[in-house]
């Protein structure tokens, strides 16, 4: 059995991106609430409420990144990387709560419509806040891709949702100024709420998949299959391939079937080469390779066929 893992980046260093998101949320909350008080637009209020959710999500992301960076211990031998999924779950729930509040406010404004005030200043302030969110979202996404962090990726997607929300709100407020039709404002707010619900549900679903040990993405599985195909040309077979994603970590286990007359030395080195090829394709991963003789019928027994409830794999 071989285990190999390419060194990962320092997870604790990612907290600086969470702090960036926290500061951006604080600034945009102030700007968007100012825009709301200037215009009395529930569309702008809905945008400001989403920024409060951004702040709560960023604070949660900071806490979970700190926890995920802790090294493995006796109670958590595989580390604490799954803590990142809790951040996405909580952020998704907060988004849904915010959407409910926005919808309630919008429906009340439909019942009691009012014309907006100082629209021009409010739109400029909201646009400036949106520009800040866009810049921070790009930085977070770049860091998420470089460090394979679902927490930063979720935060980035959420900020980009905020950007599109702001664009919709600004467009709605501008239409009100042109048409003097006050109902546009709460209708835009309801559309914002629907968009936020979509984002929240998506974040929760993806986080639950991670907590349930979902397999690696299709593209990465195809890369693994490509490496195995190269070794099959040498007479090597594989079965029992299992993969899972745990936040920034990939876990791969597979049974490698080699000729029974091979020396342990030869089989070991072949497994090392196979694991190195996988790492070259995927980057960070923990790989477990179980070597078996290809000419032994017992080698082809699937693990789940040998297990019943309460039994250990044979």
CATH of the domain at 189: 1.20.1510.10
Boundary (domain end) residue, out of 157, 184, 211: 211
The parent domain of residue 96 ranges over 9-211
**CB-based contact 221:215 (threshold 8 Å):** yes
- Please report the pLDDT score of residue 243 as a whole number: 92
Q: Is residue 311 part of a domain?
A: no
Give burial (CB, 10 Å; 0-12/13-18/19+) of 26. Answer: middle
Task: Divide the 314 residues of the chain into consecutive groups of 10 and give the mean pLDDT of each group.
Answer: 46 85 91 82 73 81 82 80 76 76 75 66 82 92 82 80 75 73 75 78 77 83 94 92 80 92 92 92 86 82 48 43
Kindly state whether residues 113 and 244 are assigned to the same domain: no
In the structure encoding, which two tokens stand for residue 27, read together? 């600034």
- Convert 217-250 to b/e letters by CB count within 10 Å (16 or more is b): eeebeebbeebbeebeeeebebebeebebbbbbb
How many domains in the chain?
2
Domain shared by 182 and 50, yes or no: yes
* pLDDT at position 43: 66
244: which strand partners? 251
Q: Which of 179, 171, 193, 176 is nearest to 45 (CA)?
A: 193
29 neighbors 45 (Cβ within 8 angstroms): no
């Amino acid at each position: 059995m071989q285990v190999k893992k390419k060194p990962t980046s320092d997870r604790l260093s990612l907290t600086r991106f969470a702090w960036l998101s926290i500061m951006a949320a604080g600034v945009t909350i102030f700007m968007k609430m100012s825009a709301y008080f200037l215009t009395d637009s529930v569309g702008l209020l809905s945008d400001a409420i989403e920024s409060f959710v951004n702040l709560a999500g960023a604070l949660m992301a900071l806490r979970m990144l700190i926890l995920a960076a802790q090294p493995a211990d006796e109670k958590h031998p595989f580390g604490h990387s799954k803590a990142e999924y809790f951040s996405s779950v909580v952020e998704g729930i907060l988004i849904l709560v915010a959407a409910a509040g926005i919808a309630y406010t919008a429906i009340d404004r439909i019942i009691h419509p009012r014309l907006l005030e100082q629209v021009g200043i409010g739109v400029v302030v909201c646009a400036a806040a949106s520009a800040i969110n866009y810049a921070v979202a790009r930085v977070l996404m770049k860091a998420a891709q470089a460090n394979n962090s679902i927490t930063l990726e979720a935060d980035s997607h959420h900020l980009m949702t905020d950007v599109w929300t702001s664009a919709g709100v600004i467009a709605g407020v501008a239409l009100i100024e042109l048409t003097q039709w006050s109902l546009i404002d709460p209708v835009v707010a309801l559309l914002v709420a629907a968009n936020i619900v979509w984002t929240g549900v998506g974040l929760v679903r993806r986080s639950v998949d991670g907590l349930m040990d979902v397999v690696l993405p299709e593209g990465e599985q195809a890369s693994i299959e490509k490496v195995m195909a190269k070794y099959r040309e040498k007479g090597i077979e594989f079965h029992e391939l299992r993969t899972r994603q745990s936040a920034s970590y990939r876990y791969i286990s597979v049974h490698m079937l080699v000729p029974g007359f091979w020396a342990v030395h030869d089989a070991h080195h072949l497994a090392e080469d196979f694991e190195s090829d996988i790492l070259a394709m995927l980057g960070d991963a923990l790989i477990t390779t179980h070597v078996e003789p290809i000419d032994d019928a017992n080698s082809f027994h699937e693990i789940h066929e040998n297990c019943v409830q309460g039994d250990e794999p044979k």
